Chain A
Amino acid sequence: MLNDFISQVGPSTVGGLASGAIYALIALGYTMVYGVLRLINFAHSEIFMIGSFAALFVIMQMGITEPLTGVALVGTLLLLLIASMAASGGAAVVLERVAYRPLRKRGASRLAALISAIGASIFLQELFALVIIPEVFDRPSQGRNQVPVPRLFDRETVFSVGNTDIRNDHLLIIGAAVIMMILLDVFVNRTRIGRGVRATSQDPETAVLMGVNIDSIVRTTFLVGGAMAGVAALLYTMEFENLRFNIGFLLGVKAFTAAVLGGIGNLRGALLGGLALGLIENWGSIFFGSEWKDVIAFTVLVLVLLFRPTGILGESLQRARA
């Protein structure tokens, strides 16, 4: 058992960090919306799903069938990045307008908002399974099956540490996630809008009195959180090369776990929580087998909440909640 662990720990660490980076990017959306509205944006998983299909749509429109190299690859990735960020960010803004704002304006309970989010989530999944995948992606009556994604670039080992090969795709994922986190951190902590976001999450009523436009802040929060999910969606599409109408659900739950693990409302916590969750999951799989991966993730969630309910770094975007 221990020998197994030692021989597999390297690869599963790299794999864990890569999936953890994707969790972290999705977790940002949960954490930001939760920070500002105290609401689990349950349909965030579908925002992710929309982004991944947007990336696939562009890939298909460009007629990519062979793996790319060099400038063509970089250009394509940038284009895909813009497409998936725009699709996810846009969808998040629409979602907020349709499913949340009417409730917010009426002062409805948070349970009502959660139900509305679950409804939106079901609607979007079914929309893809019934209409968009069969029609737009030209897979009639296969809307609930997996949709394969052409390979964008060949996997190559960039360098090795001990017996562990570090591949270019893993480096890209982790690198992209870290860059996005830094950009987001700068946005929230250094810009004027970011200050509005922080103010709203600390005390919405006072923020209004200070001239913060809450509606616009909420919209921005959804837009930015959605765009981050879009980045995650592109990375996921590129790495796992298989999409499905319900890919968002499990990733969404895990990303929320990551957000809680790091301390919900805490942006850096989301990164830490995502990476930690990815690692724990993959290391745990060595011992228990990969079919227990999801159980491990949820068990970690339960344990964290029991022993440190505010997460590793604590709740920081807003005041701590009772």
Chain B
Amino acid sequence: MNANSTIRDGNPLAMLRQTVVGYSDRVRDWWATAPGWARWTVYGLLIALAIIAPHPAIGSFMSPHSHWASLLFSPIGTFVLLAVGLNVVVGQAGLLDLGFVAFYAIGAYTMAVFGTKYGWNFWGVLVVGIFITAVSGIILGSPTLRLRGDYLAIVTLGFGEIVRITAQNTEYIGGARGITNIPHPQPIFGVEFFLDPLPYYYLLLAAIVLVVIFAKRLERSRVGRAWEAIREDEDAAELMGVPTFKFKLLAFFIGAMIGGLTGVIWASKVIAIQPPNFPFILSATILAAVVLGGSGNLPGVIIGAFLIAWLPERFRGFADYRILIFGAALVLMMALRPEGLLPPRRRRAVTGEVSKPETPPAGGDEAGDDRPAEEVAK
């Protein structure tokens, strides 16, 4: 039996849990055993779907209350890219980062400063912005990555706030007023970037596809295996000769790069940025997207980010109450399925230890996880 389908009590919560678990596990197991051509078909279909997604016919259902194509760019697209970046740090390397928004902010500010003050071209800033955020990842990481778990979480939270408040207090970058008149990207391949969100969406989509391929390749590489080892048991990894510090730093470096990339693209569209665009709650929301989708599993993370960005917009009809519902939904979701909608096949604790006190883990983390498709039949 699957660990999660053990019925502990017959309450409605447990029954609802059953349903959620049933569907997402079945999808997961089918995927794991699907042949290569099926996977490529799905990849192709997904990209095709993403390309036709801005069509107004889809938009009229997906977002009756706001402009669908803008929504697809931000928050949906930006959330997805940020979540893929954060997934490298949290999902793959198991480092809890509560200040991821800082890298997004640094990317956006790089675009704004170089674009307005030095008249740089977007494509040039893109390179510089990624470089600068990567360096900031190293600067944050090199002293703090010797810390573990919760300490790291709180230090990164502090870092996020430091970046925001510093932006707010520094007159050179506009202080509390922020920066306005950020230039749009120059035309490329004959595509003009102006107020229409569509070209930005496709730009972001291209970035997402590239980053996802990159992240997927990393996951399968020596680096990915090192991260997995660190996430599972840092001491054991160290003993086995994995240079843990170096790899943790690399995770921060890559996560920061992706965050910065998102920031640069986003800032090039929105014309004006201000420090309050980068609150802590954004870090928390992205983290929620990663965990909700299934930390460590890219498709899950993408779905999680999509849902977290889309649902509140879809239900704008509830006006103000959507954030309240979002909060309640997070609590409920964690009670129903703490490992996320689509967890990686090898499920495990993300921040080091499964809370082992009190209860023996219900069914165990290892038991029933590496099991092939016979589970599907049940």
Which residues of A come within 8 Å of B, CB atoms?
34, 37-40, 98-99, 102-116, 118-127, 130, 200, 204-205, 208, 214, 249, 253, 256-257, 260, 291-292, 294-295, 298-299, 301-302, 305-306, 309, 321-322
Q: Is A114 in contact with B357, judged by CB distance below 8 angstroms?
A: no
B315 shortest CB reach to chain A, Å:
14
Residues of A within 8 A of B155 (CB): 301-302, 305
- Would you call B355 and A121 a contact (CB within 8 A)? no
Instruction: Give the residues from 68 to 96 in chain B that come closer than 8 angstroms, CB to CB, to chain A.
Output: 90, 96
The minimal Cβ–Cβ distance linking B243 to chain A, given in whole angstroms, is 18
Q: Are the CB atoms of A122 and B354 closer together than 8 Å? A: no
Task: Tell me the minimal C-beta distance from A116 to chain B in angstroms.
Answer: 4
User: What secondary structure prevails in chain A residues at the interface with B?
Assistant: helix
Q: Complex formed: what's the CA distance from A166 to B159 in Å?
A: 35
CB B30 to nearest CB in A, in angstroms, measures 25
Interface residue? B356 (CB, 8 A): yes
B370 sits at the interface (CB 8 A): no
Hey, which chain B residues are within 8 Å of A38, CB to CB?
150, 355
* A115 near B324: Cβ-Cβ < 8 Å: no
A256–B337 CA distance with the chains assembled, in angstroms: 28
Indicate if B41 sits at the interface (CB-CB under 8 A). no
Q: Number of residues in B with C-beta < 8 Å to the partner?
A: 62
Find residues 314-342 in chain B having any chain A CB closer than 8 Å to their own CB. 320-321, 323-324, 326-331, 333-335, 338-339
Complex Cα gap A39–B355 (Å) = 9
A298 and B161 form a contact (CB under 8 A): yes
- A40 to chain B: which residues have CB within 8 Å? 150, 153-154
Q: A302 contacts B158, CB within 8 Å? A: yes
Q: Which of A105, A109, A260, A305 is in CB contact (< 8 Å) with B339?
A: A109
Interface flags for B343-362 (1: CB within 8 Å of A; 0: not) read 00000011111111111111
Interfacial chain A residues near B351, Cβ < 8 Å: 109-111
Interchain CB contact (< 8 A) of A120 among B13, B327, B349, B359:
B327
Flag B10-43 by CB within 8 Å of A: 1 or 0 each. Answer: 0001000000000000000000000000000000
Known: A99-B331, A107-B356, A298-B158. A305 touches B324 (CB 8 A): no
Complex CA gap A205/B335 in Å reads: 23
CA A113 – CA B96 in complex, angstroms? 13
Closest 5 CB pairs of A and B: A119-B330, A123-B327, A204-B357, A122-B327, A112-B338
B295 within 8 A of A: yes
Residue in chain B with minimal CB distance to A120: B331
With a cutoff of 8 Å between Cβ atoms, the chain B residues found around residue A116 in the complex are 330-331, 334-335, 338
B interface residues with partner A (beta carbon < 8 Å): 8, 13, 90, 96, 143-144, 146-151, 153-155, 157-159, 161-162, 165-166, 168-169, 235, 280-281, 284, 287-288, 291-292, 295, 320-321, 323-324, 326-331, 333-335, 338-339, 349-362
Q: Which residues of chain A come closer than 8 Å to B153, judged between CB atoms? A: 40, 114
> In the complex, what's the smallest C-beta–C-beta distance from A255 to chain B, in angstroms?
11
- Judging by beta carbons under 8 Å apart, are B331 and A98 in contact? yes
Asked if residues A122 and B281 are in contact (CB atoms below 8 Å), the reply is yes
In whole angstroms, how far apart are the Cα atoms of A130 and B358 in the complex? Answer: 37
Which B residue sits closest to A126, measured CB to CB?
A: B324
A300: nearest residue on chain B (CB-CB)?
B158
Residue ID in chain A nearest B166 by CB atoms: A295
Evaluate whether A253 and B161 lie within 8 angstroms (CB atoms) in the complex, with A114-B153, A301-B154 already known.
yes
Question: Nearest chain B CB to A130's CB is how many angstroms away?
Answer: 5
Residues of A within 8 A of B356 (CB): 107, 205
Given contacts A107-B362, A302-B144, contact A256 B334 (CB under 8 A): no
Q: Is the CB of B90 within 8 A of A107?
A: no
- Given the complex, which residues of B lie within 8 Å of A106, measured CB to CB? 338, 359, 362
Is A104 within 8 A of B355, CB to CB?
Answer: yes
Q: Report which residue of A205, A294, A302 has the largest number of chain B beta carbons within 10 angstroms of its beta carbon.
A: A302
In the bound complex, residues from chain A placing their C-beta under 8 Å from that of B327 are 119-126
Chain B residue numbers with a CB within 8 Å of A111 are 90, 96, 291, 295, 349-351
Chain B residues positioned under 8 Å from A39 (CB to CB): 355
In the complex the two chains form, is A119's CB within 8 Å of B329's CB?
yes
Q: Of B235, B295, B328, B353, which is within 8 A of A119 by CB?
A: B328
Contact of B355 among A113, A122, A208 (CB under 8 A): A113
**In the complex, what residues of A have CB within 8 A of residue B331's CB?**
98-99, 116, 119-120, 123
When the two chains form their complex, are residues B291 and A112 in contact, meaning their CB atoms are under 8 A apart? yes
Residues of chain A lying within 8 A (CB to CB) of residue B149 = 110
Check if B324 sits within 8 Å of A130, measured CB to CB.
yes
Q: Give A204 to B352 CA distance when docked, in angstroms.
A: 18
Contact status A102-B169, CB under 8 Å: no
In chain A, what residue has the closest Cβ to B152? A305
Collect the chain B residues with CB atoms within 8 Å of residue A200's CB.
357
Beta-carbon nearest neighbor of B329 in chain A:
A119
Nearest to B292 among chain A residues (CB) is A115
Residues of A within 8 A of B358 (CB): 104-105, 204, 208, 214
* CA gap between A205 and B355 in the complex, in Å: 12
- Chain B residue at minimal CB-CB distance from A105: B359
